[in-house]
């Protein structure tokens, strides 16, 4: 199994089978386009395009009508907010020059492809399959490669959102960063019955870095998976073997040759940071392995960016490898510039210390191996995954949910590559939404979101709390992972849901705390007490009794009234309750976390919502620490 196949949606998933693998659900992907020739978009065995589909297959440069099929049923592209100069390096069509959109689309609904591996080099080998492999895809290209980066124009995104409503999509997936208020006020899309899934952002582990925090969106954090790529660095004594992480593989043409140059001993040359281009140019790094120590003071840029710069500098200077110190070794995206050029290994501070304090001035880097299974500690919240609380909407607990987003294998052009980011986590959730939409076509977007959040897991396979990777690893809290790690099978039968009618969201600028969200955030517990109300709807057995189980945030008393709710045959399906919070100490505090879980007497359903509370004495010196 490769993790283009969703780790939480294996072929044995009850939800997957019940939903007929997403048969005929239409998922709109607003991204950088698609590479339609990828085997992931093969439509063999598909029936006719659903009659409710009203979209088009827009032709353009290197993209004609035959590039749409019964799998990719529609495609549009938008470029009005991109200059003619910038479009010179782009396809003037829905064809994907960047690869990002192809990767996300195949993660959502890619057809099974056997023998896939990272760049064909053997790493992460297995079956690449989307989470809802029988779903249909509607592609909206709004992002373009410009000036060495990627631009996703506001006007293009708005146009795509409006088109998707008319086209008839069931789910919208946007692996995009936060933008202007006008772009992401997507309430009209949700009002049309479309669940909208966004990535949380890649600016973690900094607090208040989460984006796309509007309450009607499903905002997704990223976790690691049970797979790593251990890479052995052997020092010159031949005995000392150190292990880092890399995506270094020996390409097939090299393996077929008789040269052992890839495995030669190389001189080590140490630098601090490796991001000083002028210094590196002045040194003779040709043929050497650069050993990059972390700077003494924290950089303004994340380790992945520094790693990318270091690897590019190494290539430009003729180096034969990079050993890079990073406080977290769960992200290897900085290795993209190394691919096909030289081995780039991420190691921790202890490993760097051992290298620099050894008597060896040479080393050899072996190709990475693939390790999969329970011996790999996972899931963990990825270091890069953006954290709450939301700076814009502190009364809306974000992110909502976490899903696999580290080293995800999916399509890019005619190959398959490993990418990491909340952009990779978002399509996992979009796929689950598509499956839930198939099983429960009458559920509202709020009900689907509630089912996902309230059934999520907060523990790993050993029953221990999920950890969050950061500068220092810690137990994950609601600002790291929302409700927890997505649990698709449980989401199919949540028991209770927290529903919201679209018109209720109009209180966003008034009393957002009154929204019936599947979470509770109290950013200003300033007075004697704060009381919030929630209403649950029974979607399980018509006769059921649920009892409240409270995990109060530290330093806060938490009371639920009534503590028991019962549903009877022929009675109402809704029950309203109130939660009251009282600060035990009058102190200026940071956030504390807890939960409220409704357990049914039949022990079939556990409906948990996360809780975050901050006590405040003076609101102008609030503390966001946790």
Which residues are identified as catalytic? 31, 100, 423
User: Strand pairing partners for 228?
Assistant: 371
- Write down the H helix ranges in 141-260: 154-167, 181-184, 187-191, 252-256
The residue to which tokens 């509202």 are assigned: 444
CB 455 within 8 A of CB 482: no
- Give the helix, strand, coil percentages of the chain, each rounded to 5: 25, 30, 50
Per-residue buried b or exposed e for 350-376, using 16+ beta carbons within 10 Å of the residue's own CB: ebbeebeeeebeebbbbbbebeeeeee
In whole angstroms, give the CA distance from residue 13 to residue 8.
Answer: 8
- Write down the H helix ranges in 76-153: 100-109
CB 386 within 8 A of CB 199: no
Q: What is the DSSP string of 262-320?
A: GG--EEEEEEESS--HHHHHHS--TT-EEEEEPPSS--SS-HHHHHHHHHHHHHHTT-S
Residues ≥6 apart with Cβ < 8 Å to 462: none
Of 73, 50, 58, 200, whose CA–CA distance to 141 is shortest?
A: 58
Phi first, then psi, for residue 401 (nearest 5°) are -155, 160
Query: Helices 422-439 and 445-454: crossing angle, nearest 10°?
Result: 110
In whole angstroms, give the CA distance from residue 440 to residue 193.
Answer: 13
Of 130, 104, 118, whose CA–CA distance to 4 is shortest?
A: 130
Residues ≥6 apart with Cβ < 8 Å to 5: 11, 112, 126, 127, 128, 129, 130, 131
Per-residue buried b or exposed e for 540-573, using 16+ beta carbons within 10 Å of the residue's own CB: beeebebebeeebbeebebebeeeebebeeeeee
> In terms of C-beta density within 10 A (0-12 exposed, 13-18 middle, 19 or more buried), how is residue 192 classed?
middle
How many C-beta atoms surround the C-beta of residue 325 within 10 A? 27
Q: Using DSSP bridges, classify how beta strands 113-116 and 126-128 pair: parallel, antiparallel or unpaired.
A: antiparallel
Give all strands (DSSP E) within 456-573, no chain letters.
467-468, 474-475, 496-497, 520-525, 530-538, 544-551, 556-561, 564-567
In whole angstroms, give the CA distance from residue 374 to residue 394.
Answer: 37
CB 273 within 8 A of CB 297: no
CB 507 within 8 A of CB 514: yes
Structure tokens given for 569: 């045959």
């Amino acid at each position: 199994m490769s993790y283009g196949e969703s780790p939480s949606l294996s072929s044995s998933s009850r939800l997957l089978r019940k939903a007929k693998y997403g048969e005929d659900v239409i998922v709109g992907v607003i991204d950088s386009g698609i590479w339609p020739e990828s085997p992931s978009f093969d439509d063999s065995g598909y029936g006719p395009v659903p009659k409710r589909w009203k979209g088009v297959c827009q032709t353009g440069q290197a993209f004609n009508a035959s590039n749409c099929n019964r799998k990719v049923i529609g495609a549009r592209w938008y470029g009005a907010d991109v200059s003619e100069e910038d479009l010179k390096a782009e396809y003037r069509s829905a064809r994907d020059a960047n690869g990002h959109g192809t990767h996300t689309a195949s993660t959502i609904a890619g057809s099974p492809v056997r023998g896939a591996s990272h760049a064909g080099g053997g790493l992460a080998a297995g079956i690449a399959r989307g989470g809802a492999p029988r779903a249909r895809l509607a592609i909206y290209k709004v992002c373009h490669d410009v000036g060495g980066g990627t631009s996703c124009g506001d006007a293009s995104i708005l146009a795509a959102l409006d088109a998707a409503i008319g086209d008839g999509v069931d789910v919208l997936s946007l692996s995009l960063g936060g933008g202007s208020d006008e772009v992401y006020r997507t309430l009209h899309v949700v009002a049309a019955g479309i669940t909208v899934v966004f990535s949380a952002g890649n600016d973690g582990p900094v607090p208040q870095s989460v984006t796309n925090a509007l309450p009607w969106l499903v905002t997704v954090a990223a976790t690691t998976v049970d797979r790593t790529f251990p890479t052995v660095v052997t020092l010159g004594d031949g005995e000392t073997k150190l292990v880092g992480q890399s995506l270094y593989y020996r390409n097939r043409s090299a393996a077929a040759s008789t040269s052992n140059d890839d495995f030669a001993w190389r001189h080590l040359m140490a630098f601090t940071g490796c991001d000083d281009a002028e210094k590196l140019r002045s040194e003779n790094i040709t043929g050497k392995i650069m050993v990059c120590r972390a700077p003494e003071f924290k950089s303004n840029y994340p380790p992945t960016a520094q790693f990318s710069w270091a690897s590019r500098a190494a290539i430009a200077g003729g180096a034969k490898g990079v050993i890079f110190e990073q406080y977290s070794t769960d992200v290897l995206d900085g290795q993209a510039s190394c691919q096909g050029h030289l081995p780039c290994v991420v190691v921790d501070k202890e490993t760097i210390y051992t290298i620099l304090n050894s008597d060896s001035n040479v080393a050899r880097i072996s190709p990475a191996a693939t390790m999969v299974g329970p011996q790999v500690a996972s899931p963990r919240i990825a270091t890069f995954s953006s954290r709450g609380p939301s700076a814009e909407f502190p009364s809306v607990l974000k992110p909502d949910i976490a899903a696999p987003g580290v080293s995800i294998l999916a399509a890019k052009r005619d190959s398959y590559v490993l990418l990491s980011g909340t952009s990779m986590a978002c399509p996992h959730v979009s796929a689950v939404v598509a499956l839930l939409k198939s099983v429960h076509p009458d559920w509202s977007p709020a009900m689907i979101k509630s089912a996902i959040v309230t059934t999520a897991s907060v523990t790993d396979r050993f029953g221990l709390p999920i950890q969050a990777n950061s500068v220092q690893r810690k137990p994950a809290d609601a600002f790291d992972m929302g409700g927890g790690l997505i649990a698709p099978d449980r989401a199919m039968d949540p028991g209770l849901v927290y529903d919201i009618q679209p018109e209720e969201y109009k209180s966003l600028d008034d009393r957002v705390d009154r929204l019936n969200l599947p979470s509770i955030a109290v950013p200003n517990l300033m007075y004697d007490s704060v009381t919030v109300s929630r209403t649950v709807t029974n979607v399980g057995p018509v006769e059921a009794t649920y009892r409240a189980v409270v995990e109060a945030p530290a330093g806060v008393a938490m009371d639920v009234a009534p503590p028991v709710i019962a549903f009877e045959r022929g009675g109402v399906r809704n029950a309203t309750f109130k939660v009251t919070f009282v600060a035990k100490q009058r102190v200026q505090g940071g956030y504390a976390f807890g939960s409220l879980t409704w357990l049914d007497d039949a022990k079939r359903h556990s409906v948990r919502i996360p809780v975050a509370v901050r006590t405040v004495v003076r609101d102008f010196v609030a503390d966001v620490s946790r």
